[in-house]
Structures are given as C-alpha cells and as structure tokens.
Structure 1
Amino acid sequence: MSKHILVFLVSSILVVGCMGGKGQGHGNGNGNGGGLKLKYYDNLCRSVSVEKTVRDIVWSKVAADPTMAAKLLRLHYHDCFVRGCDGSILLDPTQNTTTEKTAGPNRSISGYEVIDEIKTKLEASCPEIVSCADIVALAARDAVSFQFRREMWPVFTGRKDGTISLASEVGGNLPSANANFTTLLAQFGTKGLSLNDLVTLSGAHTIGISHCTLVARRLYNFTGAGDADPSLDQTYAKTLRKLCPNPVNSATAIEMDPNSSRSFDSNYYRALNQHKGLFVSDATLLTNRQSATIAKVLENQMVFFANFARSMVKMGAVEVLTGGQGEVRKNCRVINGQ
C-alpha cells in the first residue's frame, strides 16, 4: 500500500469516526440527545474528586491484577449493548427476575467487586450523587489507561441507573463471538454505531482471555465434518488445538490476542490480518471489503488509539438515561427501595 493511499484512508477513517451520534459525544448513540457532560460531578460532589477516586481504585486493582483491565472494559461493553449504558448489568437477580448478569454470555463477566468498592467510597462522601453507570464507564477508561498513565479517552458523565434488567434481552442485543458480519453490523447499527465503530471496538480483543468452549466448533467441527474453519491460519489453528484438545475443557483459558494479551495496542489487527483472529466475529471483519480496509489501516497504533477514543465516547452514550430518567442507586446491585 502506497504512502499516499494510506494517508487518504487514515483521513477517511478519522472523518468517519467523527460522524454519527452527537459530534462532541454527549448525546446518545441514536442521536436523541443524552445530556452527558465532561466533569459533571465537579460541582455536585465537592468533598472528593469523583474521577480521581475512581482512577485511584481502578489503577490499584489493575496494578495488583493486570487481567482486571480487560474485565472492566468488557463489563462496560456488555452493559451498553443491553438497554444502553445504564448499569443494568450490575443488578443481582431477585426472587421474581433473572437479570442480565445471569444470562449465558454474562456469566463469565467479573469486576463487579471493583465497582462495589468505588461506589461504597463515593457514597461515604457524596451519598446518592454518583451513578453506578458512570462508575462503570469511568472504570473502563481508567483500566485501559493504567498502562499509559494518561486518559485514553474523555468520559462524559451524568448517566442515571436503569431499573430494569432482564436476562431475556441479552441474547438479541449483545454481539456474539460466533456472529457473522451482517449480524454484527445490524447490532451495532441498532445502537447508532457505524461500520468504523464495529471494526474499531473489536480492537478491545487486544487484551484479555477467552475460553476454549467459545472456539471449539471453529477448531473441530466448523462444517460438521470435523474440520477447522478454513479462514483460520492453519498454523495458528494447530496451536489452538494443542491449547484446546478435543473434547475441550470449558475452564481452559486462551489469549484473545496471540501476540500481547496484556498490552493494549494495535497488534490485534496485525494478527487479524494474518487470519489469526480468535473468534468468528473477528474473522468475519475480513469478509467485507470496507471493513477489511479499515482493519488494515488500524494496524497503525496512533490511528487505532484515536479511533478507539472516538468510538468509546459514542458507545458510552448509547441509550443513556439522564435528567429525570432512571435513578442513582445507593447499592449498584439493588434497585432503590428493594
């Protein structure tokens, strides 16, 4: 690829990254206006810095356990794709309701205790002021930022917490590791997120682990004939088969980025373009010409970071509750009054 073509593509992607939703990122993903603001809590909670409190606790947790960065980022993703970024994933099931966290795709989610610790500390200083939804969004940003010791993207705040959380709503809204391109594009589009956002946000797979059960069919029975997915690099497929012998052990963990699963970088795209994307949802990004072009350009780390920042702001504003909507939970696991 020539230098002139690369410059054109980079410029095009940066423009696309700025389009859709509100230009400054403080509407919701569907463009209905969310009313989020930078430094929303500065005048509401004067006794303590809300953002510094979140950052200090998150950085201490990631320093002690580097895998926590991916866990908190994933928690934010899974929250925003079901009912928007409203903290509904945090609600515990009740006698009458199976909540989002009980749904199959969310049973491996963790990091709840970090959100609880932050909430407890903030409640002691500013009771009923800081929403759990905002804590999740800030924690995700700070978890990734720990590696760089600087904020990787701005977090607009002012979200309220939702009062509805249903396990039945997870499957149709949350993108699956086995989803094809058409399904992914539709699911992202429903949230007001573009093709560029889809490819860029998939880059979160540069950190964290998964488990053999999510790739078993891709390794051993892709077409029903005991074969591996032909779109997967065959050397990489052999490596994965060694890590995940058949029948697979559901407890066996595998890295999502074969190059650097604890470093937030653009190596995900290098692996993807070598046909070493772990999931079907990764590999399918190469089946569309425009998507594949974006994935190639995002190998440039500066371009990836810039686009990831824009896409995270957009995702963080999806279907948010503000103003008189929702509530500020006293306990992130329980609706007020229960």
Structure 2
Amino acid sequence: MASNTSFSFSAAFLIFFIVGLASAQLSTTFYNASCPKALETIHAAVSAAVSKERRMGASLLRLHFHDCFVNGCDGSILLDDTSSFTGEKTAGPNNNSLRGFDVVDTIKSQVESVCKQAVSCADILAVAARDAVVALGGPSWSVQLGRRDATTASFSAANNDIPSPTTDLSPLISAFSKKGLSTTDMIALSGAHTIGQARCTSFRTRVYNETNIASSFATSLQSNCPTSGSDDSLSPLDAVSPYVFDNYYYKNLIRNKGLMHSDQQLYNGGSADSQTTTYSSDAAKFYSDFAAAMVKMGGISPLTGSNGEIRTNCRKTN
C-alpha cells in the first residue's frame, strides 16, 4: 500500500511538473512582434461568427476543451483523417457533435492574410474560446500563447480521455486529475455548460430513468427526446439562459435540473455540492475560477519550440 501511494504521488507530481513547465514556455505576448494583429483578427472573426449564430460561442469553446484533453492543446482535433492516421473528429465524443470547424477555417484564413504561417491553429482555438465566452457575456482572461500544431491525431485517445455525459463524479474527478486539473478546476470548467446544447442521445437515459431530476423538467424534455429515435434532437444545457455565459448552470443543478447525468453529479450529495452551491450564488467567484481553470487547461502539454509545426491549413499537416 505504501509503495502504491508513493507511486501515485510521484506520478501526480510529474504531471503537474510537466504541465507547469510547458505553461512556462508560453507567453501572453508571444505574437507581439511576429503577428501584432493576430489577436484583434481572431477577435473580430469570433465576434462576427457568434453574432451570426449565438450557439457558435459554445461550439468554439468546446473545440478547445476537446483539443486539450487529447494529447494536449495541439490543434489535433482539427485534423481530417489521412491514409496514415484516423483523426479525432469521428471519435465517439466528437462524431456528429463537434462543430465550428468552418469558423476556425475562416479565422485561420484571415490570420494568414495578415501574418503568413506565424499563428498556430492550437493558439487560434485557445484565443477563440476566450473571445467566444466574452462575446456571450462571460469573463475574460489573458491567453498564454506559443503553442505549435501537432502533425498527427489520436482517435483512441479521443475515445478514452474525454469524459462522457454518463460519467459519475469520481471518474470525472479522476479524468481531470490525469490532465493536471483539480476538482475545483473540474467544477469550474463544467460551468461551460451554461451555454450550448446537447443531443437527445446524451441525456435520454437520465430523463427517463433517473430519480434526481425535477419531474417537470424531465417531462418537458421527453417531448423532444422520445424513448427511441430523434437522437440528434437538441436541448439547451441551460434552459434558463442558453446563450448567456452566467451561473444559471449551477442554479439549475441545485434544482435538480441538470441536463446530463454528468452535470447533475456536481450536485448529488457528493463532494462537489459545496462548490456548486457557492457558484450558484456567487457569479463573480465562478467567473474568477473559470478564467483561472481555462488558463490552466490551456497549458496542458503544448508543443513548443521546434516541436510540431505551424499549419497553413488547420485541417491538414503542411
């Protein structure tokens, strides 16, 4: 038992050390000289996309999360399949679910027009996530920059490392811990579900079989999500204010109105209840913790220096 505990501590320390070391290689001023118009170009494109379709804000935020959780924040989520590897787009958590790739293409094209092969697709995802949150009324933060792009992707890691909508609290905590993120980070980052929508297939079991759900809420969802069929029918993750980045996600959980099983796990008589309660009544605390957790998540195993490349097309390697 003692040796296992020692190993677990050493492994955890190594994860935090590596994440911290990689983050230290990033900088908020990375493009000041090489592409001074990079951030304003990304901001304008994200603002235009979200103005055209409010849901796109959640989609861009989710792309960054799903990128970082698979081999680090390296833009691998954007790669199409090739003859040498199967990309991450068709993995279970992403297939027919992730969106916004066309918006990223537009951003990349506009950035390339002001700075040729200077700004990575991975950094575009990180900045776009921040700008999308701000566009929907959420907090801002200084994005660490200097990531480079992967030249391969991992279908298997996408299937294994991204938590599913049916995940219980303990496995959720574990999945985030493996990425160097604390329980506090996990609960704060879950607040991203204050915007966006989910497919019927992601919450069907919950609305028909679980008891920790408000009966009126379950009934309201069943009309759009029958026991069979309509897998792709959408419902908002936050039915109160689905296009505003606020703390209603947590308020909903207190009322047993979490859309997915994994959401309601944050308020289900477990260790996450206290923090969820705090966020439900203190939006400023949620905003602060969310911003800090996003910076921390953005530092997961980035490629820096001479590793990787700067793709000219986010969908394929150079």
Same fold (TM > 0.5)? yes
Residue deviations 1:220-278 (CA, integer Å, cap 9, x gap): 3xxxxxxx201112221111112212224112111111211111100000001111111
Q: Is 1:232 the equivalent of 2:236?
A: no
From the superposition, tell whether residues 83 and 288 of structure 1 become closer, same or farther in structure 2 (CA, over 3 Å): farther
Q: Which structure 2 segments of 5+ residues have no match?
A: 1-11
Output aligned runs, 1:234-249, within 5 Å: 234-249=215-230
Output aligned runs, 1:172-321, within 5 Å: 172-220=160-208, 228-287=209-268, 289-299=270-280, 300-321=282-303
Report the 3-state secondary structure (helix = DSSP H, G, I; strand = E; otherwise coil) of the residue aligned with 2:235. Answer: strand
Q: Is 1:37 the equivalent of 2:27?
A: yes
Residue deviations 1:186-240 (CA, integer Å, cap 9, x gap): 11000000000111100000001111111122233xxxxxxx2011122211111
TM-score by length of 2: 0.90
Q: Is 1:117 the equivalent of 2:99?
A: no
CA contact (8 A) 1:216 1:248 kept: no
User: What is the CA-CA distance between 1:72 and the residue it aligns to?
Assistant: 0.3
Q: Is 1:126 the equivalent of 2:115?
A: yes
TM-score by length of 1: 0.85
Q: What is the CA RMSD across the aligned residues, in angstroms?
A: 1.8
CA distance in structure 2 between the aligned counterparts of 1:152 and 1:205, rounded to whole angstroms: 17
User: What is the CA-CA distance between 1:31 and the residue it aligns to?
Assistant: 2.5
CA distance in structure 2 between the aligned counterparts of 1:244 and 1:147, rounded to whole angstroms: 27
From the superposition, tell whether residues 106 and 322 of structure 1 become closer, same or farther in structure 2 (CA, over 3 Å): same
Report the 3-state secondary structure (helix = DSSP H, G, I; strand = E; otherwise coil) of the residue aligned with 1:254. Answer: strand
User: What is the CA-CA distance between 1:44 and the residue it aligns to?
Assistant: 1.1
Q: Letter of the aligned partner of 1:64 in structure 2?
A: K
1:332 paired residue number: 314
1:24 paired residue number: none
* Count of residue pairs the alignment pairs up: 302
CA contact (8 A) 1:84 1:319 kept: yes
CA distance in structure 1 between the aligned counterparts of 2:164 and 2:158, rounded to whole angstroms: 10
CA distance in structure 2 between the aligned counterparts of 1:189 and 1:269, rounded to whole angstroms: 21
CA contact (8 A) 1:29 1:193 kept: no
User: What is the CA-CA distance between 1:112 and the residue it aligns to?
Assistant: 0.8
CA distance in structure 1 between the aligned counterparts of 2:80 and 2:192, rounded to whole angstroms: 26
Q: Is 1:158 the equivalent of 2:139?
A: no
CA distance in structure 2 between the aligned counterparts of 1:45 and 1:263, rounded to whole angstroms: 31
CA distance in structure 2 between the aligned counterparts of 1:204 and 1:45, rounded to whole angstroms: 29
1:9 paired residue number: none
CA distance in structure 2 between the aligned counterparts of 1:206 and 1:161, rounded to whole angstroms: 29
Q: Letter of the aligned partner of 1:328 in structure 2?
A: I
* The one of 16, 40, 58 aligned to 2:46: 58
2:60 paired residue number: 72
CA contact (8 A) 1:29 1:192 kept: no
Q: Letter of the aligned partner of 1:88 in structure 2?
A: S
User: What is the CA-CA distance between 1:290 and the residue it aligns to?
Assistant: 3.2
* The one of 117, 137, 141 aligned to 2:126: 137
1:7 paired residue number: none
Residue deviations 1:50-99 (CA, integer Å, cap 9, x gap): 00000001101111111110110011111010011100000000123210
Report the 3-state secondary structure (helix = DSSP H, G, I; strand = E; otherwise coil) of the residue aligned with 1:33. Answer: helix
User: What is the CA-CA distance between 1:185 and the residue it aligns to?
Assistant: 0.8
User: What is the CA-CA distance between 1:151 and the residue it aligns to?
Assistant: 6.2
Report the 3-state secondary structure (helix = DSSP H, G, I; strand = E; otherwise coil) of the residue aligned with 1:102. Answer: coil
Would you identify which runs of 4 or more consecutive aligned residues in structure 1 move more than 4 Å? none
CA distance in structure 1 between the aligned counterparts of 2:174 and 2:293, rounded to whole angstroms: 16
Residue deviations 1:7-40 (CA, integer Å, cap 9, x gap): xxxxxxxxxxxxx99xxxxx98732333110121
From the superposition, tell whether residues 62 and 28 of structure 1 become closer, same or farther in structure 2 (CA, over 3 Å): farther
Q: Letter of the aligned partner of 2:310 in structure 1?
A: V
User: What is the CA-CA distance between 1:104 and the residue it aligns to?
Assistant: 2.1
Q: Which structure 1 segments of 5+ residues have no match?
A: 1-19, 22-26, 221-227
Percent identity of equivalent pairs: 40
2:9 paired residue number: none
User: What is the CA-CA distance between 1:125 and the residue it aligns to?
Assistant: 2.3
CA contact (8 A) 2:126 2:143 kept: yes
Residue deviations 1:140-189 (CA, integer Å, cap 9, x gap): 111111134x8611111000111120211112100111111111111100
